[in-house]
Chain A
């Protein structure tokens, strides 16, 4: 395998892991509430920016990461309580505008609370590149891949082995039945938003050392994460991961071999193709209309 191809594959997988985390966030919220949370990307931004701010103020890296993820989780819970719950049952257009409004609001707040500059984050364990078969890999990339793997495993355990997790799955399969079984849909909604926010923030913290963070990184990351979720089949956890990795690879290979100027466009071409040609996504399922 040529060194160049290997390089593209490695960087594609790295950014793909980030997309996978964001996509998982979309999937979890969609499963609980049928809402596409357009503000998902802002959680990623909050993760990175808050961590940068905490580090600048003197806190050690691990604490900064912890605090920023917590902050994002709180923001997620607030969003659910203040914006999504009051509008439950509203038509699709309304919900879309609410979450888009939330993302614009969060971006504006970020610019005010922090600033509009680009912030780097220190790498978790040094910056010395590792040589892998003619290509180089940043240690941070290993953090990204490893943490994503661990997170996916933890989520699998959560959804399949814990009561809360199983309750969330129940709600996604049949909300009414879940309610009749005594499951509190409000709580499930809250947990889903909090969890997605945490995942987004984690992704933001992981990628910031490599590609830096700023007040507006959320837009593209959120949209691409959504494209990944659509590719894998919205509402499917494994699909989100598969979609994220696939999207990262397509983007890296496309930018490398076709056109680096149009790097951002690949995700949306993939999104369109997925929507038009793969109605059920790679793995997931779509709802059918019943008369």
Chain B
């Protein structure tokens, strides 16, 4: 795990990301590639939040797709069934999910390790089943249509998502380098010692959980308006697992790693789309191999390799 969150290094990373985001459209040939970029961006938003929870605060959630799905369905239902303007339904949906995460998080975050993993898994599955079953409201397994935002078109959405992602990354990096960020990392490092310096473990874990849930809901809501149509599979267990894998693959305790993980693991299946039948095999193998050979994730492993190369005598 990288030792010091040196402000300059993460600022440089942010600028690099901003540069990439600004210049990427020049390299995207068609609407399909724009679509992939947008999906990467949305996944990255969730992953940055999830990374705050897993990599920094040291907790785990195997049900985060549930928050994503609730954010999506929240805004969809308010806009489609109750006629709310998306400008209102979107933030309200995100806040509602945050409130739900607050309620649910308090008892659940008392658990640790495997038990916490299983509890969040259970929550995620309950959400996905409810979404698929209450078909009068949600349209059931076949999904429901979502009114668009006032903007449409791939290019506009690209900038919306890109802007949101950059804002989220900037906020996350600020948070990590603040007293609060240190408090969260302290919880991860040695929870008992954190208590001994006055850090209220329960409150901070809950804050990390709610924040990451809100970010997932935001991405979910945006994705609903972008796609114009949503299904309960957005809240599925498989989606939750994909999200966690993206975070861990990119490198825990690395915001840019989370973005990188989202980018790689979203585009890879597209590349392997030729072998549609092999998608699951590829995903499973990738997860296993990454964790066995690069347990810290891509970015920290690369950092370490670069450090070692730099220290080698010429």
Contacts and interface: CB of A to CB of B under 8 A. Distances in A.
Interface of A: 36, 83, 86-87, 90-98, 100-109, 111-112, 219, 223, 226-227, 230, 234, 261-262, 264-265, 268-269, 271-272, 275-276, 289, 291
Q: Closest 3 A-B residue pairs measured CB to CB?
A: A105-B284, A101-B287, A108-B280
Size category of the B interface is: 35 or more
Contact of A268 (B113, B115, B122, B281): B122
A98 B126 contact: no
B295 interface: yes
Given A103-B284, A104-B280, A108-B281, 9 more contacts: A83-B292, A93-B252, A97-B290, A101-B245, A104-B283, A108-B282, A111-B280, A227-B122, A276-B108
A104 B125 contact: no
B187 interface: no
Interface in B231-246: 237-238, 241, 244-245
B121 A102 contact: no
B277 A111 contact: yes
Given A94-B291, A265-B129, A105 B280 contact: yes
A112 B277 contact: yes
A272 B126 CA distance: 10
A271 B123 CA distance: 10
A86 B292 contact: yes
Q: Interface residues of B: mostly helix, strand, loop or mixed?
A: helix
A98 B115 contact: no
A96 B62 contact: yes
Given A36-B118, A93-B60, A93-B248, A100 B295 contact: no
Given A83-B292, A264-B129, A98 B277 contact: no
A96 B280 contact: no
A240 B244 CA distance: 28
A264 to B, nearest CB: 6
B108 A101 contact: no
B281 A109 contact: yes
Interface string B244-276: 110010001000000000000000000000000
Quick one: which of B119, B277, B288, B290 has the most chain A CB within 10 A? Answer: B288
B130 interface: yes
B100 interface: no
A43 to B, nearest CB: 15
Interface string B15-34: 00000000000000000000
A275 B192 contact: no
B151 interface: no
A162 to B, nearest CB: 29
B285 interface: yes
A275 B114 CA distance: 11
A87 B117 contact: no
B281 A272 contact: no
A92 B60 contact: yes
Contact of B279 (A36, A108, A272): A108
Nearest to B135: A261
A94 B126 CA distance: 24
A144 B313 CA distance: 68
A223 B240 CA distance: 15
A107 B129 contact: no
A276 B115 CA distance: 9
A276 B129 contact: no
B107 interface: yes
Nearest to A216: B280
B282 to A, nearest CB: 8
B122 A104 contact: no
27 contacts: A36-B117, A86-B292, A87-B292, A90-B291, A93-B60, A93-B248, A94-B248, A97-B287, A98-B287, A101-B291, A104-B241, A104-B287, A108-B283, A108-B284, A112-B277, A112-B281, A226-B118, A227-B118, A262-B133, A265-B125, A271-B119, A272-B108, A272-B123, A275-B122, A276-B108, A276-B110, A276-B119
B305 interface: no
Contact of A98 (B60, B117, B125, B288): B288
Given A105-B288, A107-B284, A275 B295 contact: no
Contacts of B285: 101, 105
Contacts of B283: 101, 104-105, 108
Nearest to A229: B118
Contacts of B287: 97-98, 100-101, 104-105
A101 B291 CA distance: 9
A265 B130 contact: yes
Contacts of A91: 295
A226 B62 CA distance: 15
B114 A107 contact: no
B284 A101 contact: yes
Contacts of B241: 100, 104
Given A100-B241, A108-B281, A268-B126, A94 B117 contact: no
